[in-house]
């Protein structure tokens, strides 16, 4: 993940008055000493050769501020005039209007966007439309050729970081497929590798989308960074027509029905009238009951207690991961045991996080001991059932 800073920035400066070098420093709310920048590269043309000073008129806590005190690395995109959409109403009001089908007021505005790639923290971005900015007269002027080179260098920098991110999240993704590879059912370890690769791609896509979301050539740039060479063919008229035909065919297909012989074991009909696994429903209802208990005690109201929120959120995430692992096994189609085992093993981490947060809730005495003990007891019972299911589906490998 990239480090993104906005609210916690108090003030700072970016100095590109020496060609090929960007120095700088900025202060964060909650840290007495400034973060110091020592980077190779140049800013965009609007800042090239200049000293840029910026100040946040209303600094607030909330950002991750555990950055290394000295940031050594490479410049990404640094500009004080990035065009972005700016809401003319509070975010909560805009969301309410969008849900009601109304168009919320907005305008295009300038945004400071300072991006770099450090040796210690990876990608770091300072981005805001609210800072007061002052730019000095340039000590040197960037030529059009240098501007093209700078843009190309920025793209290379994020491409290298994306490659490092993918490799770090899943080192095995660099390995070549074995000679005896076949397309038969995968075991749990092959599924784990596949799921890690999916995580890496999702992470990569999120970072690329965030960077290019307002760029006029967004789709093309995202496709290039993701390595999607086929995107133009997919967007062609013939491919679109074929996709439409496939969608219509799928729409005409009746929904599948679960196996009536496994009702109550591999599937149930939930209170929401959905086909789901009994363990999925149990985890979901447990998290919902605790969330409602928090509402009764005022723990969900701003400022909400972070530990209680973490405890419930991780339990809700556990139920979602159980749905992904188990909700399809009630149907007659073939279920790969390796996939189920790999998903259940990955889901255990959310149990661990919820239990860890519950210990903090216990120490704070936020809810009745009996209620918390019952929540924890049921979580442990869910874990035991997960382990039993892992053993069951391992037998199918």
Q: Please tell me the predicted confidence (pLDDT) of residue 170.
A: 52
pLDDT tens readout for residues 186-241: 777 776 776 666 666 666 666 666 666 666 666 666 666 666 554 545 544 444 44
When pLDDT is averaged across residues 296-313 and rounded to a whole number, the result is: 82
Indicate the average pLDDT of the chain.
Answer: 81
pLDDT: which is higher, 2 or 333 = 2
- Counting residues of the chain whose pLDDT is more than 90, the rounded percentage is 38
Q: Please tell me the predicted confidence (pLDDT) of residue 376.
A: 95
Q: Please tell me the predicted confidence (pLDDT) of residue 255.
A: 65
> Can you tell me which residue has the tokens 């259940």?
344
Residues 126, 6 contacting (CB under 8 angstroms) = yes
Residues in contact with 244: Cβ distance below 8 Å, sequence separation at least 6, in sequence order: none
Residues 188, 345 contacting (CB under 8 angstroms) = yes
Quickly state the pLDDT bin for 179 (edges 50, 70, 90).
very low
Residues 382, 286 contacting (CB under 8 angstroms) = yes
- Alpha-helical (H) ranges within the chain are 91-99, 144-169, 188-212, 218-226, 231-234, 237-251, 278-297, 306-326, 337-364, 369-394
- Alpha-helical (H) ranges within 86-143 are 91-99
Distance CA 144, CA 72 (A): 27
Quickly state the pLDDT bin for 62 (edges 50, 70, 90).
confident
Q: 131 is written with which tokens? A: 């800072």
pLDDT at 369 over 90: yes
pLDDT tens readout for residues 245-279: 555 554 455 667 888 888 888 889 888 788 889 99
pLDDT: which is higher, 70 or 96 = 70
pLDDT tens readout for residues 85-142: 777 777 677 777 777 778 888 777 788 999 999 988 888 999 898 899 999 999 999 9
In order of start, what are the domains of the chain with their CATH numbers? 3-149 (no CATH), 264-394 (1.20.1440.60)
Residues 188, 394 contacting (CB under 8 angstroms) = yes
CB atoms within 10 A of CB 260: 8
Q: Which residues pair with 25 in a beta bridge?
A: 13, 36
């Amino acid at each position: 993940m990239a480090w993104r800073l906005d609210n916690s920035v108090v003030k700072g400066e970016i100095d590109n008055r020496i060609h090929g070098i960007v120095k700088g420093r900025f202060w964060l709310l909650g840290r007495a000493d400034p973060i110091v920048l020592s980077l190779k590269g140049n800013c965009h043309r609007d800042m090239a050769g200049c000293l840029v000073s910026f100040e946040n008129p209303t600094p607030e806590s909330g950002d991750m501020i555990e950055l290394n005190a000295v940031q050594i690395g490479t410049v990404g995109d640094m500009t004080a005039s990035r065009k972005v959409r700016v809401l003319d109403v509070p975010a909560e009001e805009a969301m309410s209007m969008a849900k009601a089908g109304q168009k919320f007021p907005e305008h295009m505005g300038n945004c400071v966007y300072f991006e770099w790639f450090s040796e210690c923290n990876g990608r770091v971005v300072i981005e805001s439309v609210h800072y007061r900015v002052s730019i000095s007269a340039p000590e040197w002027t960037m030529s059009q050729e240098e501007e093209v080179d700078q843009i190309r260098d920025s793209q290379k920098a994020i491409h290298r970081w994306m490659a490092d991110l993918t490799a770090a999240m899943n080192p095995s993704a660099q390995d070549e497929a074995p000679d005896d590879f076949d397309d038969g059912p995968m075991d749990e370890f092959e599924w784990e590798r596949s799921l890690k690769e999916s995580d890496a791609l999702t992470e990569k896509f999120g970072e690329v989308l965030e960077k290019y979301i307002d760029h006029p050539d967004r789709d093309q740039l995202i496709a290039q960074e993701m390595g999607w060479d086929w995107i133009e063919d997919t967007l062609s008229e013939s491919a679109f027509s074929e996709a439409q035909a496939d969608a219509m065919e799928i729409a005409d297909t009746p929904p599948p029905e679960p196996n009536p012989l496994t009702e109550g074991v591999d599937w149930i009909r939930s209170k929401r009238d959905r086909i789901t696994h009994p363990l999925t429903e149990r985890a979901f209802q447990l998290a919902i009951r605790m969330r409602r208990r928090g509402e009764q005690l005022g723990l969900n109201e701003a400022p909400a207690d972070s530990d209680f929120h973490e405890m419930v959120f991780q339990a809700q995430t556990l139920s979602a991961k159980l749905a992904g692992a188990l909700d399809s096994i009630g149907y007659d189609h073939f279920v790969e045991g390796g996939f189920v085992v790999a998903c259940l093993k990955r889901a255990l981490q959310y149990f661990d996080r919820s239990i860890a947060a519950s210990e903090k809730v216990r120490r704070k005495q936020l809810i009745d001991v009996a209620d918390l003990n019952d929540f924890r007891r049921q979580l442990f019972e869910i874990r035991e059932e997960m382990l039993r299911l892992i053993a069951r589906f391992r037998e199918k490998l």
